[in-house]
Structure 1
Amino acid sequence: MPDDLPDDPEEVRDLSVRLILLLGAVSLLGSLVSNGARSVTGPYILLLGGGAAVVGLVAGFGEFIGYALRSATGVYVDQSRSYWKVAMAGYGLLVTIPVLAVAGRWESAALLIIAERVGKAIRTPARDTILSHATTSVGRGWGFGIHKALDQIGAVIGPLVMVAALALTGGYAPGFLLLGIPLVGLAMMLLFARSVVPKPGHLEADGGDRETGSDLPGIMPYATFIFLGMAGFANFPLISFHLKAQSIIPDAAIPLFYAAAMVVSVVVALLVGRIFDRVGTHTLLAIPVLSTVTVLLAFSLTPGLALAGSLIWGAGIGIFETVLRASIAESTAANLRGQVYGTVSAVFGTAWFVGSAVMGVLYDVSLGHIVAYVVIIETAAVAAYLWMYRCRIAMRLQEGIGNLIP
C-alpha cells in the first residue's frame, strides 16, 4: 500500500480501525505470553534454587526497569520516528519466555525475566505513539479502550494456558515452550500491521508533523497527578495476601477474584473510552475516587466487601491506562508523544512501586494506617488535578489572546 492515505475520511477511519484491531491482537498475544510466564516465575526461580529474596528482587527490579527505561526509549522514538522498528525490537525480546524452558540456573532465568521487561520498556512508547495516530479519527478514548480491552483478555488467557500445561505435564518447561507458539502469530500480525500503515502519522490530518499547539497542561502537574493517583492504588498481590492472611476466602478462590477483576477491567476499558471522548480529561478524577474506594472495601474482613473491592480494583486497572494514554494523545503534539508516553509511564511505574512498598509496610502496622495513607495521598491527587486544570485554562487563554493579535 502506498504511503499516501485515501482522501475519504471514512476510508481513513476504516484503516485506523484495522490498525487498532491489529495492534490490539498483537498486544493480546504479547500479554498472553508475558503474563503466562509471570504467573509462575516466582515458583520457577525457587525450583532452580533461588530464594524468596531473589524472587522479590528480580520481580521488583524487572518491573522498575520496565517502566524507568521508557523515558529514554520515548525520546528515541520521537527523534528517529522509527515506530515500527522500535516496536518490533521490543516485541522481539518476548522470545526470552520460551528460552526460560532451558534455563538451568536461577541466575539465567533472572536475566531472561529482566530482559523481557526491557522489551516492554522498548516497545510501549512506540506502540502507544502509533495508536495515538490511529485513534485520531475514531476517538482517542474508544481507540485506546479497545486496545486495552484486548490486552487484558490476553492477561487472563496467559495464566490459564500455563495452568493447563502444568496440569497436563507437571513441569514448567513445557508451559514456557507452549507460550512460544503465540509469538509466531504475534510476529505475523505485527508485520501485517506495518504493511497496512507503514507511516501511521499520515492517519492524522497534518501527517503527524504538528510540532506546536499542544494543550497538555504542562508535564509537571500532569505527572504529579499520575504519581499521587498511582501511589495510592493498591496492588493485587497485597490484596491477595490480605485475603489469605485473614482467611477471608479459601485459597482456591483467590485466583477467581483476580480473574473476575480482569473481566471487569475489560468492560470498563471500553466504557471509559467512550466516556473520555465525551467529557475529556475530567475522566481522570475517577482515579482518586476508585483508589480510595478500593482500599476501603478490598481490605475488609467480609468476603462480599472484599470481592467488591477487588472488582473496583479491576475497574481502576481498566481506567488508568485507557484514560492515561488517550489524554496524552489528545493533548500532546505529535513530535513529543513518544517522550511524554515514556516519561509518564516511568512516573506511573515508579509511583506504583513506591506506593506498594509503603502500603506493604503499613499493613504490618494496621489496616487503618493503609486507609489513612490512601485518603491523604488521593486527596493530594485531587489537588494536583486542580493544579493541572488551572494550568490548562491558563494555556488556552494565552492561545486565545495570541490568536487575537494580528
Structure 2
Amino acid sequence: MYVMSRFSYITRAVWLLSLISLFTDLASEMLYPIMPLYLQSIGFSVFFIGLLEGVAEATAGLSKGYFGQWSDRLGRRVPFVQWGYGLSALSKPMLAILATPVWVLLARTLDRLGKGLRTGARDALLSDETTPDNKGKVFGFHRSMDTLGAVFGPTVALLWLTSQPGEFRPLFLIAFLPGLLAIGIAFLLKERQTVPSNRPVQPFWASFSYWRVASPAYRQVVGALVLFALFNSSDAFLLLLARQRGLSDATVVGLYIWYNAVYVLSAWPLGHLADKLGSRRLLVAGLLVFALVYGGVAVAHTTWAFAAMFGLYGVYAAATEGVGKAWVSNLCRKADAGAALGTFSGLSSLATLGASVGAGLLWQWRGPSLTFGVTAVVALGVAGYLAVVRLREQAA
C-alpha cells in the first residue's frame, strides 16, 4: 500500500500515454539512427539531410502551437492524441515504397505533422493529471518510458543490420507494427473533463499567438530555450560525425542505443530531483553537460571517446526535455496549457529548421569541429542567462 500511495501520481492516463509513447518511439527510433546512413547510401548530401530534417521539424513546429490552441478551445485532448499517433504510424511503411527525395520528404513531413497534432494535447493531458509539485516526476516518468522505446527500436535495427548489412528498407515495414500497437492503446484513453479556453483559435500561420498573451516569465524562459534550439541541430549530425570519424554502421547504432539507455535510466530520477531542487537548477546543469558533449565530440576520434560523449548526452537530455516542459507548464494558466506547451515545442522545432540547415552549410564550409564548437558556446551562454535571470512573474 505504501508503494502504491508513493507512486499515486502515476495515474492510468499517465501509464497509457507513456506506453503509447514507448511503442511509437520504438517504431520511430528504429529508423532514426539509420535514416542519415540510408539517405547517404542513396546519394543524399549532408546539406540535404540537414534540410530534410529541418523542414520536417518545421512542419511539427508550425502545427504544435496551432493544434495546441484547438485542444484548449475545445477542452478536448484525446482525439488529437489518437490522430497524431495514427499519422506517425502511417508514415513508416511509406518510406519503404520509394527512395526519391520528394517521397522521403512527404513521409517525414507526415510523421512530423502527426507529432505536431498530438504534442500540445498530450503534454497538456499529462499536466492536467498532476499537481505542480509532481510535474517533474510525471514528465520524467513519461520521458523514461518514451525513451525506453528509443532503446528497443535501435536494438532491433542493430540486430537487423548485423545479419543483413546495408539492407535498410525492410526496417521501414517492420517499424509499422509497434506503431499499430500504439494506435490501439490510444483508443483506451478517456477524456478528462477540462474547462475550454475562452481564447479564440488563431489561423495556422498565427499559431504562436499565445506568445503575445503569455506571462513575462514564460517569455523569458521559452525565449532563452528557443535561442538554444536555434543552434542545436538534429541529432542526425552526431551520428554522421561518428560515421565520418571511421566508426561502422553497427557501432553508430550501438552508440545511439547507449545514449537512449542512459536517458531512460536518468529521466525519472532527474525528474524527482527537479521537483526537489527546482527546474531551473537542473535545466542549467543539463545545458552545461550539453556544452561539454558538443565540445568533446568536436575533437573525439575513438569509439571510447564517442561512447563517453553519447552517455553524457543522455544525461543532458534527461535533465532538460521533460524538466523544461514541467517548468513551462507552471508558467501558464491550466486552461492554456495546450497552447503554452505547443507554442514552446513548436518554436523549438522551428528553430531546429534553422539549426539543421545552418549546421549542414557550416559543416560543408568549415567542417564538423567548428559546427559543434559554435553550438557548445551558445549553450554556455544560455545556461548562464537562465542561471542568473530574475523572472518578472512566476506561474500565471
Which stretch of structure 1 is more off in the superposition, 86-95 or 151-160? 151-160
Q: TM-score, normalised by structure 2?
A: 0.80
| Pairing 1:157–2:155 present | no
Given the alignment, which residue of 59, 69, 72 partners 2:66? 72
Deviates more, 1:297-306 or 1:342-351: 297-306
2: distance between equivalents of 1:15 and 1:69?
30
Relative to structure 1, the CA distance from residue 279 to residue 216 in structure 2 (aligned partners, 3 Å threshold; closer, same or farther) is farther
Secondary structure of the residue aligned to 2:366 is coil
Which structure has the larger Rg over C-alpha atoms? 1
Residue 310 of structure 1 deviates from its aligned partner by 1.9
Could you tell me the TM-score, scaled by structure 1's length? 0.78
In the alignment, structure 1 residue 389 sits paired with structure 2 residue 390: yes
Query: Which whole-Å CA distance do the structure 1 matches of 2:293 and 2:240 have between them?
Result: 15
Matched to 2:187, the amino acid is L
Deviates more, 1:271-280 or 1:303-312: 303-312
Correspondence 1:225-244 to 2 at 5 A: 225-233=224-232, 235-244=234-243
Counterpart of 2:25 in structure 1 is 31
Q: Distance in 1 between matches of 2:39 and 2:368?
A: 31
Give the whole-Å Cα distance in 1 for the aligned partners of 2:273 and 2:178.
33
- Structure-2 change in CA distance of 1:361 and 1:177 (3 Å): closer
Report the equivalent of 1:175: 171
* Unpaired segments ≥5 residues, structure 2: 200-212
Identical-residue share of aligned pairs (%): 21
1:193 corresponding residue in structure 2: 189
Q: Find the counterpart in structure 1 of residue 135 from structure 2.
A: 140
Q: SS of 2:299's equivalent? A: coil
Distance change >3 Å, CA 147–CA 375, structure 1 → 2: closer
Structure 2 counterpart of 1:327, one-letter code: W
Aligned to 2:78: 84
- Alignment-derived partner of residue 343 in structure 2: 343
1:402 alignment partner in structure 2 = none
Which range moves more in the overlay, 222-231 or 138-147?
A: 222-231
| 3-state DSSP of counterpart to 2:11 | helix
Out of 250, 257, 260, the residue aligned to residue 259 of structure 1 is 257
Q: For residues 231 and 215 of structure 1, do their structure 2 counterparts lie closer, same or farther at Cα, with a shift above 3 Å needed? A: closer
What RMSD, in angstroms, separates the aligned Cα atoms of the two structures?
3.6
Asked if structure 2 preserves the Cα contact closer than 8 Å seen for 1:133 and 1:208, the reply is no
Aligned partner of residue 331 in structure 1, secondary structure: coil
Aligned residues of 2:29 and 2:150 also touching (Cα < 8 A): yes
Unaligned runs of 5+ in 1: 1-9, 202-206, 400-406
Q: 2:269 aligns with which of 271, 279, 288?
A: 271
Q: Distance in 2 between matches of 1:50 and 1:331?
A: 46
User: Does structure 1 conserve the Cα–Cα contact (< 8 Å) formed by 2:72 and 2:335?
Assistant: yes
Compute the displacement of 1:126 (Å). 0.7
The offset of 1:261, in angstroms, is 1.1
1:202-241, CA deviations, whole angstroms, 9 ceiling, x for partnerless residues? xxxxx79899xx9965332112210233345465433333
Change (3 A) 1:123 1:295: same
Distance 1:301 1:285, change over 3 A: closer
Aligned to 1:323: 323
| Displacement of 1:339 | 0.8
Counterpart code for 1:259: I
Which residue of the other structure, out of 45, 55, 58, is the alignment partner of 1:61?
A: 55
Gap change, CA 1:28 and 1:374, over 3 Å in 2: same
